[in-house]
Amino acid sequence: MARKKTPEPLSGLSRRETEIMEILFALGEATVSGVTEKMPADLSPNGVRTMLTILEGKGRVTRRKEGREYFYKPATDPAVAGQSALQQVLRVFFDGSLKQALQARFTGSGAAPDAAEIAELEAVIREAKRQAKGGEKP
């Protein structure tokens, strides 16, 4: 029996749906009023409720009831969503190359990495090398 594929966290969503998902990832869990407060553009609580119902139907959010309120949260773990989003950015903007993405980050107009960030990246690379030698997945 084929296993149902979990949708990528933000792929195939409208702009409003993506905004709501980003808010939920940032907050972890929120009510309709909590999401409405954080929306960058005007969207009524009824509009937010409708969008959350649509996202629930798409399997993107789950909800639980506490008293009279529903609390919504992403159906996907934020770390998994972040990895998925990073893979999409690498594919779309950097031809799948992590090296090109890092070069863009370090040579772009953004703030240059400080010594602590560089040291942390070096430690990540050392660990990836160690795991690659041992046949482990990083």
Q: What is the pLDDT of residues 33-81, one digit of tens each?
A: 999 999 987 889 999 999 999 999 999 999 999 999 999 999 988 888 7
CA distance linking residue 33 with residue 31, whole number of Å = 5
Strands (E), 67-128: 69-74
Dihedral sign of CA atoms 76, 78, 138, 8 in order: positive
User: What pLDDT digit, counting tens, does each position of 72-119 carry?
Assistant: 999 988 888 778 778 888 888 999 898 888 888 888 777 778 889 889
Q: How far is CA 105 from CA 100, 109, 126, 128, in A?
A: 9, 8, 20, 20
Lowest-confidence segment of 1-5, 24-28, 120-124, 130-134 by average pLDDT = 1-5
- pTM, two decimals, is 0.65
Strand partners of residue 73: 62
